Structures are given as structure tokens and as C-alpha cells.
Amino acid sequence: MTTRYHGKSGSVTFNAAVASVTEWSFERSVETAEDTAMGASWKIRRAGFADGTVSVQARFNTVTTPVTLWGAEASLKLYLDATNYFEGNAICTGDDIGAGTGDVGNRTLTFQWSDTEGVTLTS
């Protein structure tokens, strides 16, 4: 039977819990190399290195959120619920903090996976 997850059960840790997360997304990709010879009708591609990026949206406040995460490397866990999560080593490559009139402070953290073992799903 297929298990569905509700976003309200999600969370993120990067060494420690990232506070006030409102959303996370994980994009996976694989590089390709072209291997087509002259005279071919279609391009031939070969799979290369796997890669992935993560974006985390959160509310920002200076009490519960470390200000300097960018450049840090640590274990990143993206929880679907209390026991199911994606995990791998990652580097925080961006930290965009902002606020607008009529809104609370927001933060967007971006990460790149960096691990010889890849990203695993624990369930």
C-alpha cells in the first residue's frame, strides 16, 4: 500500500534542528555526456555524476536560528515524518534572509549534497 505524507509532519536538521521550517524541496539530477558519432540520427548520452540541491523555507528570528550557516558542511536530514527521511552530507551554499511589510521575517537556505555514499531514504 502506498504511504502518503502530509507536509505538517516534515522537518529539517543540519547538525541541529532548523527552526520554524515551512517548506523544503529536494531536486535530484544526473549529468550526461554526449557520445554521438557522425552519421547518427539520434544523440546518444551516457549517465554521469549524480547531484542534488535542497531548498528550505523557514521563518527567521535571531533567537532560535543560527545566523551563519552558509559554508558549513554537515549531515542534512529532510524528514517526511518522525521516522522517514532523506539523509546525506551537504554544504549550505546560500542563506537568504528577508522581510516585507505585513509579513514576518523569512529565510531561504540552499544546500548541495556532497557525499560519496549519496543520499539515502530511511523508512
Residues 79-117: tens digit of each pLDDT: 999 889 999 999 999 988 898 888 888 989 999 999 767
pTM: 0.81
Compute the average pLDDT of residues 24-43: 93
Joined grid coordinates for residue 57: 523555507
pLDDT higher than 80, residue 65: no
| Residue 112 to residue 89: CA distance in whole angstroms | 9
45-59 vs 21-34, strand pairing mode: antiparallel
SS (H, E, C) the chain: CCCCCCHHHCEEEECEECCCEEEEEEEEEEEEEECCCCCCCCCCEEEEEEEEEEEEEEECCCCCCCCCCCCCEEEEEEECCCCCEEEEEEEEEEEEEECCCCCCCEEEEEEEECCCCCCEEEC
Compute the average pLDDT of residues 25-43: 93
The pLDDT of residue 63 is 67
More confident position, 80 or 67:
80
| Domain segments of the chain as ranges | 12-32+43-122
| Residue 12 to residue 80: CA distance in whole angstroms | 9
Compute the average pLDDT of residues 37-44: 94
